Amino acid sequence: MEARLIRAVLVAALLPVALGAGYRTPNFIVQTADPRLAEQFAKAAEKSRHDLALAWLGQPMPEWWQPCVVTAQVGPNLGAGAATSFLFDRGEVYGWRMNVQGSAERIQDSVLPHEITHMIFASFFRAPVPRWADEGGATSVEHPSEQAKHKQMLVQFLRSGRGIAFNQMFAMTEYPQDVMPLYAQAHALTDYLIQQGGRRKFVAYVAEGMKTQRWGEATRHHYGLDDLGTLQNQWVAWVGQGCPRLAPRDDQPGRPAEPDRMLAAGSRLPRPEPNLIFRLPRSDPAGAIRTQLTRPQPFEQPRQLVLEWSRP
């Protein structure tokens, strides 16, 4: 009953938007000052949703019962950024809202794919995804120029002692106060794993880790490494070599992801807390690459999810 009432309120809230200026597709309603850009962004969002679902899950997603309302601010000097919110409730995901900003080019090739990856993960897992996997996956589909920013910062963060031990990073359900090392490190780790097995294997790996909370076993099962410490050491060595391209391993082509295994029948799923916008630091002192494994922090169950990112 509660979910039905919330849906009714959300539908009522959408009516003025649907009747006003903007452009609507089956899964998106885009509002922006320029009607031509509204149409352009909406069609780009639909294409990203389709293409990224195939890449991550191996199959298209069904249409959402309610479109995502996207409000876009466009300007050549606006930094690329976005905020997307949605709700989990008893196996359902709904209440999509997205605010995006940036140049028209960056909105289409980076901001929308980034945010839509968050939405695909939410639709698939039906539960909050660990921060590293969620942001690592989202940053991995940005334009190469945006991905390069994370790689440029990564070694600086590791050298200055701002790297995050893997067993801490894998346990994060909220953003740390020093957030940009998480973005850079999650991006590079996701790139490292995707190169070795593809996107669908990455999703299967995250699914097992979320289900069992035994990330060492999931790492051994999917990537043949003994534990997170081994993964961390090999990853640090790869970063020290300049993140060279890796020969891909088995990607199990043609095998779609299996969302049902992530759901507990009849259970009410947690709603994560909102997160904040963090900005990119300008510089970092140099030092030696170092990371150190420490005791992982326990997972905490959030309540409402707002995924936000911003760049100058």
Q: How many CA atoms lie within 13 A of 178 on its CB side?
A: 12
| Separation of alpha carbons 308 and 272, rounded Å | 13
Distance CA 170, CA 189 (A): 11
Decide: helix, strand or coil at residue 112.
Answer: helix
Per residue in 81-93, pLDDT tens?
899 999 888 778 8
The per-residue pLDDT for range 14-30, each reduced to its tens digit, is: 444 443 369 999 999 99
Alpha-carbon span 166 to 292, nearest angstrom: 9
Domain 2-310 has CATH 1.10.357: no
Burial of 92 (0-12, 13-18, 19+ CB in 10 A): middle
pLDDT reading at 289 higher than 50: no
What's the CA gap between 224 and 104, in Å, rounded? Answer: 42
pLDDT for res 28:
98
Which stretches of the chain are assigned E, i.e. beta strand?
A: 23-24, 28-31, 68-74, 81-89, 92-102, 305-310
Per-residue pLDDT reduced to its tens digit, 168-222: 999 998 999 999 999 999 999 999 999 999 999 999 999 999 999 999 999 999 9
User: pTM here?
Assistant: 0.76
Which pLDDT does position 60 carry in this prediction?
95
What backbone phi and psi angles, to 5 degrees, belong to 240? Answer: -60, -25
